[in-house]
Amino acid sequence: MKVGILGGGQLARMLALAGHPLGIECVVLDPAPDACAHVAASHIVGAYEDRPSLEQLVRVADVVTYEFENVPAPSVRLLEEHLPVYPPSEALALSRDRLTEKELFRDLGIPVVPFVAVDSLEALREAVDALGLPALVKTRCLGYDGKGQVLLRSREEIPDAWEALGGAPAILEGFAEFSREISIVALRSRAGEIAFYPVSENTHQGGILHYSCSTDSDPRQREAEDMAGSLLERLGYVGILALELFDTPRGLVANEMAPRVHNTGHWTIEGAGVSQFENHLRAVAGLPLGDTSRKGHSGMVNFIGVAPAQEAVLKIPHSHYHSYGKAPRPGRKIGHGTICAPSRESLLRGLEYLRELAPLVR
Amino acid sequence: MKVGILGGGQLARMLALAGHPLGIECVVLDPAPDACAHVAASHIVGAYEDRPSLEQLVRVADVVTYEFENVPAPSVRLLEEHLPVYPPSEALALSRDRLTEKELFRDLGIPVVPFVAVDSLEALREAVDALGLPALVKTRCLGYDGKGQVLLRSREEIPDAWEALGGAPAILEGFAEFSREISIVALRSRAGEIAFYPVSENTHQGGILHYSCSTDSDPRQREAEDMAGSLLERLGYVGILALELFDTPRGLVANEMAPRVHNTGHWTIEGAGVSQFENHLRAVAGLPLGDTSRKGHSGMVNFIGVAPAQEAVLKIPHSHYHSYGKAPRPGRKIGHGTICAPSRESLLRGLEYLRELAPLVR
């Protein structure tokens, strides 16, 4: 079985590594000749819009998936004419646009912050009148890791914010009062089997995920599962879906979803029965899903901008090192470390060491 | 860091897969163009004696290891002139020859079956007189998976046995009365740190390992650790060392050792904190060793000659599938399945299903 992946970064790399034991070989399409998945996957070097490259992928792959949301829609359509593409393109289309994503959440009864679509400076002013301040203005598409968004604290900031986003179609979001950010990584098989990983609690710095933790049973587990489950069913989903949520005094509020394996699920490599990467492949390949239960207490720290030495990390009890084989660059995710410990206390102690070794370099 | 590996079979493949997260890339030297490690490693296609190939390996690797015992000694010497080679060549030389291996055990006070070196038909007759029957006559070198050995039950069988072994230098071994076969996978780092995996209990069929189990604390754990520990120290060992043992009424008796990652340690991929493959790389790369403790109850069944369908295996609760990417052929190890279960009962139930799916095809 050959699984094609659009994108050859670290998510594709970890998928490819998880594939070989299953007898699944991955083929990535990525324009970068040094795409870091190449060490464990075949690599078609080509643009995501390049027809000959897409046709080559069709010839070699049995099924196609992707590691990022911003896959060009015409490319997905071309692939879909020849092969199954999972997760389904509707999930891709809806999640790529913050407006349609929030409308989907709302339609399914999943709580969201108040939001208004804005497509002009004037509309942004009116939206601020309607929602009040502070509020976040975000481009509808192509935002990630804190990019493509501006926090508005006063009306005077409106013109600069609009200019900073380049006048692209945008959305104004009211501000949620939340105590913490959590996420749930959910999955659905081709046969309709559904499973959920334990919720993880996430800490961002300047919009980039710094670290995630999954320890004792989370009081919001069931609530998060209900939300993610309704999305999986509504979309006829196949593969891993991550849902980021705010924990507020009035319950969970959905922030955004990602139709792919997710940074807040990296701890599952050591911390769960079967990792999100293997389970994503099992799902898209039509195999039975694997055990998502947590083994011990796990946490993950991203290596951003610079990676600590292996030796220093591996001296921490119960630690694991994940290099992505990427050159260091400020703000770039180039690896992560995981602690998978027998107790919450030893996890928290290990994470403290690990965070000291791996400060976020923007 | 680049680790060179002599041999590009499934052991090298699993080493290479374990290397990427550590930032370690493997380069295998193997004469077979389709050596199955190539999916995750660079591959120098060349004979193990081929000087230009060995020189190429020297140029790209920082350290060299191997996946099988029968590496030609001159090749190891050539490599050692330029690079560290781990495990040390003395371990390779001693374990390659059943006679020197048994002498090493005896010198360290590790119990062995009675044995006599034989290099002629006459010497074999005398050895049978000395040890009695039944006894096993084995070639000193190049035997594996039940090959290169003959069971002698009567004196009449002596000439045929000698002929079957081609008149090669041999060893006659007395017969041990044992209740079970166990093995211990041990390791030592470049810094001299020593660790042991929990003992596993192994079941062979016709000399080939069929399945292994590691469940509750084994009453022979400490005894096995003492034996393996004395070998590690004596050899100034670096890397994984497997020691196969017979459990007899008078204690453990050493059968043989393997200076490499070992089939009876495959369950550690899911069943231990850090797998034998990752720990071997950590050791040879000079990194701290990882947690060898058992998580849950684990067992492994080899896929020999034919591999069961992924779907059938993955339906078994707590199961994992390991394809080696090799073409099926009678008697060939082409994959394995692992059960890593929360209880001994569910492990044994899972193993029973798995063994039914994966009968040994010779």
Q: Kindly report the average pLDDT of chain A as a whole number.
A: 95
Q: What does the pLDDT look like over B305-331, one tens digit per residue?
A: 999 999 999 999 999 999 999 999 999
Q: Which residues of B touch A308 (CB under 8 A)?
A: none
Mean pLDDT for A31-54 is 98
Asked if the C-beta of B321 comes within 8 angstroms of chain A's C-beta atoms, the answer is: yes
Report how far residue A107's alpha carbon sits from residue A100's, in angstroms, rounded to the nearest whole number. 10
* Strand A170-174 versus strand A135-139 pairing type: antiparallel
Residue A145: pLDDT band (50, 70, 90) is low
At A142 the pLDDT is: 77
Taking each helix axis from N to C end, the angle separating B73-80 and B51-60, rounded to the nearest 10 degrees, works out to 40
Residue B147 confidence (pLDDT): 75
Confidence of residue B361 (pLDDT cuts 50, 70, 90): confident
**C-alpha atoms less than 13 angstroms from C-alpha of B125 in its C-beta half-sphere:** 6
Q: Who contacts B75 (Cβ-Cβ below 8 Å, separation ≥6)?
A: B6, B48, B49, B54
The pLDDT value recorded for residue A323 is 98
A126 belongs to an annotated ligand binding site? no
pLDDT of A216 reads 87
Q: Average pLDDT of chain B?
A: 95
Query: pLDDT tens digits for A13-40?
Result: 999 999 999 999 999 999 999 999 999 9
Say if residue A204 carries a ligand binding annotation.
Answer: yes
Q: Do B340 and A274 touch (CB under 8 A)?
A: no
Chain A residues inside the 8 Å CB shell of B13: 20
In three-state secondary structure terms, A177 is coil
Closest by CA position to A243, among listed A258, A222, A221, A253? A258
Helical spans, DSSP H, in chain A = 10-22, 51-60, 73-80, 89-96, 98-107, 121-131, 158-164, 221-234, 268-271, 276-284, 310-314, 344-357
**pLDDT of B26 strictly over 80:** yes
pLDDT tier for residue A64 given thresholds of 50, 70 and 90: very high
Q: Which residues of B touch A311 (CB under 8 A)?
A: 286-288
Q: Is the pLDDT of residue B76 over 90?
A: yes
Confidence band, pLDDT 50/70/90 cuts, at residue A147: confident
Domains of chain B with CATH codes: 2-85 (3.40.50.20), 114-174 (3.30.1490.20), 180-357 (3.30.470.20)
Count of alpha carbons within 13 angstroms of residue B3, beta-carbon side = 34
A22 at interface of B, judged by CB pairs closer than 8 A = yes
To the nearest 10°, report the CA torsion of B320, B324, B328, B332.
Answer: -100
B225 marked among binding-site residues: no
Q: Looking at the DSSP assignment, which residues form a beta bridge with residue B333?
A: B304
Of all residues in chain B, the one with the smallest CA distance to A14 is: B21
The answer to whether B24 touches B47, Cβ cutoff 8 Å, is no
- Sort out which chain A residues have CB atoms less than 8 A from B318's CB and list them: 273, 291
CB B198 within 8 Å of CB B294: yes
Contacts of B287 in chain A (CB under 8 A): 310-311, 314
Contact A139, A208 (CB under 8 A): no
> pLDDT tens digits, residue range A262-318?
999 999 999 999 999 999 999 999 999 999 999 999 999 999 999 999 999 999 999
Between helix B221-235 and helix B89-96 the angle, nearest 10°, is: 120
DSSP state letters, A228-262:
HHHHHHHTT--EEEEEEEEEETTEEEEEEEESS--
Residue with tokens 């692992």, as numbered in its chain: B338
Q: Does B317 touch chain A (CB under 8 A)?
A: yes
> Tokens for A75?
């490319």
Q: Are residues B321 and B302 in contact, defined by beta-carbon separation less than 8 angstroms? A: no
Task: Tell whether the model's pLDDT for residue B360 goes beyond 90.
Answer: no
Q: How far apart are CA B263 and CA B255, in angstroms?
A: 15
Please report residues of A whose CB lies closer than 8 A to that of B296.
295
pLDDT at A172 (0 to 100) = 96
Contact B20/A at CB under 8 A = yes
* Residues of B whose CB is below 8 A from A315: 288
Q: Is the predicted pLDDT of residue B143 greater than 80, yes or no? A: no
Residues of chain A with pLDDT > 70, as a percent, come to: 99
Q: What is the pLDDT of residues B199-238, one digit of tens each?
A: 999 999 888 999 999 998 999 999 999 999 999 999 999 9
pLDDT value of residue A144: 65
Q: Give the residue from A27, A313, A320 with the most B CB atoms within 10 Å of its CB, the best one to mutate.
A: A320
Q: Is the ipTM of this complex over 0.85?
A: yes
Give the pLDDT band (50/70/90) at residue B144. Answer: low
Q: Distance, in angstroms, between B40 CA and closest chain A CA? A: 5
| B358: three-class secondary structure by DSSP | coil
If you average pLDDT over residues B250-267, what whole number do you get?
A: 97
Name the residue facing A23 among B286, B295, B310 (closest C-beta): B310
Residue A139: CB partners within 8 Å, gap ≥ 6? A98, A148, A149, A165, A166, A168, A169, A170
Q: Does B318 touch chain A (CB under 8 A)?
A: yes
The answer on pLDDT for A334 being more than 70 is yes
pLDDT at A173: 95
Look at strands A63-66 and A135-139 and give their pairing: unpaired
Strand pairing partners for B237?
none
Contact B282 A340 (CB under 8 A): no
Q: Do A318 and B291 touch (CB under 8 A)?
A: yes
Averaged pLDDT for residues B166-189: 94
Per the annotation, does B143 bind a ligand?
Answer: yes
Give residues with Cβ within 8 angstroms of A108, minimum separation 6: A227, A230, A231, A234
**A5-19, A145-159, A220-234, A244-258: which has the minimum mean pLDDT?**
A145-159
- The pLDDT score that the predictor gives to residue B185 is 98
Residues for chain A: how many in total?
362
Yes or no: say if A305 and A361 are a contact pair by the CB < 8 Å rule: yes
pLDDT-derived band at B148 (thresholds 50, 70, 90) equals: confident
Q: Please give the average per-residue pLDDT across B234-250, as a whole number.
A: 97
pLDDT digits 0-9 by tens, A102-124: 999 999 999 999 999 999 999 99
A273 touches chain B (CB under 8 A): yes
Closest approach of B72 to chain A, Cα-based (Å):
29
Lowest mean pLDDT among A178-187, B26-35, B70-79: B70-79
pLDDT digits over A207-225, tens only? 899 999 999 899 999 999 9
